[in-house]
Amino acid sequence: MAGKKAQNDNEKSIRKAKTEYSKAENRIRQLDDIISQIYEDKVSGELSSERFAKMLGKYEQEQTELTVKMDALRPVLEQAKAQTQGIDKFLRTVKRFTEIKELSAEVVSEFIERIEVGETEMVNQRRFPHWADEKRQNIRIVYNYIGTIPQEGEPITASASGKTVYKG
């Protein structure tokens, strides 16, 4: 549930960034046209040099601000594009292995980039460490193309008792 909400929020922010980028791009084009027009007005004598300088300064400042805004949005949009491409590659891989009957080295190498295994934690530790009721280790699977899959709460913990435990 929390993962779905985060995904929806992320999609909204990407759509907003695309819209802002497009608006800034269009406004810069409009400003180029306006600057050309006021230059022609100055040359034809319809606009004084002082007025031209004020207007030109204002329009150029707006263009600079929009360019800075676009420069800030560009990495966000490129990251979103890369993420989408990664998801597409992962889904194509999943489609190739729709009916896995046996886990093979090929399947593991296609899906998994790496597996991170954390330090062993003693749970319900008594006076002597080897008498602990349970040992736990955090395991984090990093998949090819998409990284980790967000889970609700903290990472899955595999315990020595053979149970899978969710922290939190």
For the stretch 92-150, pLDDT in tens is: 877 777 777 888 888 888 888 888 888 887 766 666 655 656 778 888 888 887 777 76
Q: Are residues 35 and 115 in the same domain?
A: no
pTM above 0.75, yes or no: no
Beta carbons of 9 and 17 less than 8 angstroms apart: no
Q: Are residues 45 and 8 in the same domain?
A: yes
Q: Are residues 68 and 149 in the same domain?
A: no
Domain hosting residue 134, numbered range: 105-166
For the stretch 22-71, pLDDT in tens is: 999 999 999 999 999 999 999 999 999 999 999 999 999 999 999 999 99
Say yes or no to pLDDT of 158 above 50.
no
Q: What local confidence, expressed as pLDDT, does residue 164 receive?
A: 42
Q: Are residues 12 and 43 in the same domain?
A: yes
Say yes or no to pLDDT of 10 above 80.
no
Q: Are residues 7 and 90 in the same domain?
A: yes
Q: Rounded to the nearest 5 degrees, what angle is found at the Cα of 114, between the Cα atoms of 123 and 150? A: 65
Q: Are residues 91 and 35 in the same domain?
A: yes
Q: Are residues 18 and 82 in the same domain?
A: yes
Say yes or no to pLDDT of 160 above 60.
no
The count of structural domains within the chain is 2
Q: Are residues 72 and 49 in the same domain?
A: yes
* Pairing status of strand 164-166 against strand 156-159: antiparallel
Q: What local confidence, expressed as pLDDT, does residue 43 receive?
A: 93
Tokens 């046209």 found at: 33
